[in-house]
Amino acid sequence: MFPDELAEKVIRYYSFKGDLVVDPFAGTGTVGRVAYKLERRFLLIDNEPKYYKHMKETLGSLIPLTSRVDFHIHEKFKKENNPKLKKKSRKQLIPSRKNCL
């Protein structure tokens, strides 16, 4: 978590009103909250359910019902619940040459 002032400075410097601000490690949603105040659209991404719940509560009360807000979480991103996301060996990650053609 970092101060709103820091997020505000970066968002003002690198975007214009109406631009889309993306935060792939959203955490508590500071960037989204500040982007909304600065009249930017925002996309927040995080794979930690506890942060998702916090963002939903905080941003849900901040944004009026006339705006589009989508809150969605995929259970498949939780490693402990999905055996497919277990660490693969290097050999499994690199395709063979015959599969690349």
User: Mean per-residue pLDDT for 56-66?
Assistant: 77
Contact call for residues 7 and 38 (beta carbons, < 8 A): no
Predicted confidence band of residue 101 (pLDDT cuts 50, 70, 90)? very low
Q: What is the pLDDT of residue 97?
A: 53
Q: What is the pLDDT of residue 10?
A: 96
Residue keyed to tokens 């015959």: 98
pTM of the model: 0.65
Q: What is the pLDDT of residue 72?
A: 64
The Cα 83–Cα 19 span in angstroms is: 38
User: In 3D, which of 38, 33, 41, 40 has the Cα closest to residue 3?
Assistant: 33
The Cα 3–Cα 22 span in angstroms is: 17
Q: What is the pLDDT of residue 17?
A: 96
- Structure tokens given for 36: 């909304």
